[in-house]
């Protein structure tokens, strides 16, 4: 896959992957991919990441069933980030929200408010 050699990976061999809902453009989450995760994503049509904490590949939804089916993949102008539009089943966030970006920072930066709705109970899934 030519794209694997054209990307600019960080010192850990990773690129940022922004995951966006294909229907409404909502940013659902951000993850990291190494070449193997990118290849898995492109060949299977299911989003695969490199887990920095577990040091292994993981397919989004492998535990929860909340899979992300790839609709399109774009690369940014610097070649160091991907934008992946997906069909999201249920939710992207492990805390129970559709998007991982469910908290809004106050103008003074002193607090955050929950602005998203929970769509599932994380205790029932994990």
Q: What domains does the chain contain, in order, with CATH numbers?
A: 2-118 (3.10.20.810)
Residue 89 contacts by C-beta under 8 Å, 6 or more apart in sequence? 61, 65, 66, 67, 68, 69
> What's residue 84's pLDDT?
98
Two structure tokens written together for 39: 């290849």
Give dist(CA 105, CA 79) in Å, integer.
29
Residues in the chain: 126
Supply angle C-alpha 14, 1, 3, rounded to 5.
50
Supply angle C-alpha 89, 92, 94, rounded to 5.
120
> What's residue 122's pLDDT?
84
Give the rounded distance of the alpha carbon of 96 from its chain centre. Answer: 15
pTM of the prediction? 0.93
Percent of the chain with pLDDT over 90: 94
Query: Following CA atoms 27, 28, 29, 33 in sequence, which dihedral angle do they give, to the nearest 10 degrees?
Result: -90
> What's residue 126's pLDDT?
77
> What's residue 123's pLDDT?
85
Sites in the chain below the pLDDT cut of 70 = none
């Amino acid at each position: 896959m030519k794209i694997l050699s054209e990307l600019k990976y960080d010192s850990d061999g990773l690129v940022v992957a922004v995951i966006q809902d294909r229907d409404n453009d909502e940013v659902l989450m951000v993850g990291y991919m190494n070449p193997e995760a990118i290849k898995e994503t492109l060949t299977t049509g299911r989003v695969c990441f490199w887990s920095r904490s577990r040091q292994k590949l993981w397919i989004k939804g492998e535990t929860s069933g909340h899979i992300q089916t790839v609709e399109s993949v774009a690369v940014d102008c610097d070649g160091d980030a991907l934008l992946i539009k997906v069909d999201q089943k249920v939710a992207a966030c492990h805390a129970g929200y559709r998007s991982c970006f469910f908290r809004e920072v106050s103008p003074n930066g002193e607090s955050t408010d929950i602005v998203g709705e929970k769509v599932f109970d994380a205790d029932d899934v994990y």
